[in-house]
Amino acid sequence: MTADRRPDNYLLRLLSEPDFALFQRRVDWFGAHAGQVLYSPGDSIGTVYFPCGPSVASFRVVTEEGQEIETVLVGKEGAVGGIVSHGDVPAFTRIVVQFGGPFLRLRLEDLQAIQQQSRYAAHLFARYADCLLAQIFQSTACNAAHSIEQRLAKWIIDAMDRRDDRDLPLTHAQLAAMVGIGRNYASRLLQVFREAGLIRTRRGGLQITDRAGLEQRACRCHNAVKQHFRRVLLGVYPNARPIT
């Protein structure tokens, strides 16, 4: 919870008091652990999840060979699951908890009822859906145009920003899977970052020690998405006045 007793989720913090009250009566807290699957492809989406604090969810496309390729990270700047859907909609991707912690959950039918009662809430979630789509577009372009070193540096910065924490509980194998490379390759790149003084590594995790230096190694995709969030939602990422 934040100082004003709102959940630590930027999207919910943009709501006015009357609109937040509509949510408050319907949501409940849900503690999720890293690796927990919220949705698998084909599952009927009936619940919307709002990551709070350090919690982060990952959208992953499952290939024919069974490999999971991470496409988008969502932390306290947003929500996952049927944000603007109406009726019974199947999940296309697997949605997995990347970093465990508190989530708020809301039945999809309750979200739809709130959006019918509040034009502002409907407007806010439609705008967030636009931001999420922009994030997917940027991720597609990034995978096609940028080096693996750039993408790995960008992914670490993405994760750090969403957790608000320089410490990331990630193994080399998990990082490799997120970027879609072999574990040995990921380990070599992390060694390069470590020797440059950008990170420290430990068993089961890493710590960012030089964010500015890491940003110089990364592509600019992270900043492009961040600026789009700020423009479309007037700072939902993070700390801004509500949209009108």
Residues 114 and 152 in one domain: no
In this structure, is residue 210 part of a structural domain?
yes
In this structure, is residue 208 part of a structural domain?
yes
Which of 118, 134, 158 is the C-terminal boundary of a domain? 118
In this structure, is residue 152 part of a structural domain?
yes
For position 113, which CATH number holds? 2.60.120.10
Is 240 a residue whose pLDDT tops 60? no
User: pLDDT-derived band of residue 150, with 50, 70 and 90 as boundaries?
Assistant: very high
Residues 189 and 105 in one domain: no
Q: Which two tokens stand for residue 7?
A: 């959940």
Residues 81 and 167 in one domain: no
Is residue 36 a contact partner of residue 60, using CB atoms and an 8 Å limit?
A: no
Phi, psi of 195 (to 5 degrees): -65, -25
Cβ-based burial of 224 (10 A; exposed 0-12, middle 13-18, buried ≥19): middle
DSSP, collapsed to helix, strand or coil, labels residue 94 as strand
In this structure, is residue 135 part of a structural domain?
no
pLDDT of residue 187: 94
Domain membership of residue 160 as a residue range = 147-218
In this structure, is residue 61 part of a structural domain?
yes
Residues 87 and 180 in one domain: no
Task: For residue range 153-198, list pLDDT tens digits in order.
Answer: 999 999 999 998 999 998 998 888 888 888 999 999 999 999 999 9
Of 135, 199, 198, 214, nearest to 168 by C-alpha is 199
How many C-beta neighbours within 10 Å does residue 24 have? 15
pLDDT of residue 2: 58
Task: For residue range 174-186, list pLDDT tens digits in order.
Answer: 888 888 888 999 9
Provide the pairing of β-strand 56-62 with 68-74.
Answer: antiparallel
Distance CA 75, CA 179 (A): 18
In this structure, is residue 232 part of a structural domain?
no
- What is each CA distance from 169 to 20, 111, 165, 207, in whole angstroms? 32, 32, 10, 9
For position 212, which CATH number holds? 1.10.10.10
Task: For residue range 99-146, list pLDDT tens digits in order.
Answer: 999 999 999 999 999 999 998 899 899 999 999 999 999 999 999 999
Number of H helices, E strands in the chain: 9, 10
In this structure, is residue 236 part of a structural domain?
no
